[in-house]
């Protein structure tokens, strides 16, 4: 699953292989926008959050977004590809390398001067991996989030707030800050917003150059909750849970024991309180269900 740091590493590899080199073949079957001319050279490779942009010296910029499924691979000529050819959305060949974007849902090009199509034109939040990113600006965007009923876990993935956070970091950041994933944004105070942003930036930046993502150095495997459902939380000993959340049903790992910050106020349910206060004996249960039936009648 590509996150900001994965895209950053892809960009670094692509930069090393492609920048300054002449393109001998460019193929993108479902491309939206103009193709770079044959024998154009690659001028730059940039990542911005999960967006990757390759600029050619004829002014064409190729923009790809990987969402959940996509990945850039680099191959030598003659080397066997790790994915099937029909999944290739972009193929860029130079004399030495073949760069392939597999399964990228967004592949488009635009001319450099046409800022109206530019994905950065006011929509994306600051890129957390950049040292000059304004983290207070991100915290302000989070605090003034335009959907107050949305959960904090959803808001963290909204690239308009800040870019670079994917699902792994989302889970790890919420755990590190002890925040309940289902907390509605209207319950999240400014200080917590800043804490979430600073923690996110710290984790992303610490992992830029490392092959294995580590957000909790004290936990075997390096992650505190992600992928650890059913195991004990190292902070409180409670059992880590896995739940699906949101439209895309992203998997959310969290600890109900210590992620209680900004916890949503539970719906009041009297019948459940009566049941819990009563003896679990079958006769007791019968008594309780009678009460509930009479109350609702």
Contact footprint for Zn ion (CB under 5 A): 233, 235-236, 238, 255, 257-258
Annotated catalytic, 50? yes
CB closer to Zn ion out of 59 and 257: 257
Answer yes or no: 3 catalytic: yes
In the set 2, 36, 126, 184, the catalytic residue is 2
Q: Is 282 a catalytic residue?
A: no
Nearer to Zn ion, 19 or 258 (CB): 258
Neighbours of 10 (CB within 10 A): 23
Query: What are the start-end ranges of the H helices in the chain?
Result: 4-18, 135-143, 152-157, 167-176, 190-206, 270-277, 282-296
Could you tell me the smallest distance in angstroms from the CB atom of residue 240 to Zn ion? 7
**Rounded CA separation 71/66 (Å):** 6
Tell me how far apart the alpha carbons of residues 203 and 156 are, in angstroms, rounded to a whole number.
14
String of b and e for 122-150 (b: at least 16 CB within 10 Å)?
eebbbbbbbeebebeebbbbbbebeeeee
Q: Angle of helix 135-143 relative to helix 190-206, nearest 10 degrees?
A: 130
Q: Return the residue nearest Zn ion (CB atom).
A: 233
Which positions are catalytic?
A: 2-3, 50
């Amino acid at each position: 699953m590509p996150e900001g740091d994965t895209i950053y590493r892809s960009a670094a590899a692509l930069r090393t292989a492609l920048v300054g080199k002449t393109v001998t073949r460019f193929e993108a079957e479902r491309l939206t926008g103009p193709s770079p001319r044959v024998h154009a050279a690659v001028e730059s490779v940039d990542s911005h959050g999960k967006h990757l942009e390759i600029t050619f010296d004829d002014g064409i910029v190729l923009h790809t977004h990987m969402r959940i499924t996509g990945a850039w691979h680099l191959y030598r000529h003659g080397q066997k590809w790790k994915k099937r050819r029909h999944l290739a959305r972009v193929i860029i060949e130079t004399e030495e390398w073949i760069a392939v974007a597999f399964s990228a849902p967004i592949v488009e090009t635009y001319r450099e001067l046409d800022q109206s199509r530019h994905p950065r034109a006011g929509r994306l939040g600051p890129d957390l991996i950049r040292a000059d990113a304004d983290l207070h600006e991100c915290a302000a965007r989070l605090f003034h989030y335009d959907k107050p009923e949305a959960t904090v876990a959803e808001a963290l993935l909204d690239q308009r707030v800040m870019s670079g956070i994917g699902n792994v970091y989302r889970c790890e950041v919420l755990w590190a800050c002890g925040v309940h994933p289902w907390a509605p944004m209207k319950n999240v105070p400014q200080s917590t917003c800043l804490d979430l942003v600073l923690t996110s930036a710290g984790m992303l930046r610490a992992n830029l150059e490392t092959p294995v993502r580590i957000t909790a150095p004290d936990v075997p495997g390096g992650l505190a909750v992600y992928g650890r459902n059913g195991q004990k939380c190292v902070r409180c000993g409670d059992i880590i849970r896995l739940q699906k959340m949101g439209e895309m049903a992203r998997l959310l790992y969290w600890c109900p024991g210590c992620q209680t910050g900004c916890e949503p106020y539970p719906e009041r349910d009297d019948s459940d309180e009566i049941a819990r206060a009563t003896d679990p004996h079958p006769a007791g249960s019968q008594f309780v269900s009678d009460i509930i039936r009479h109350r609702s009648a």
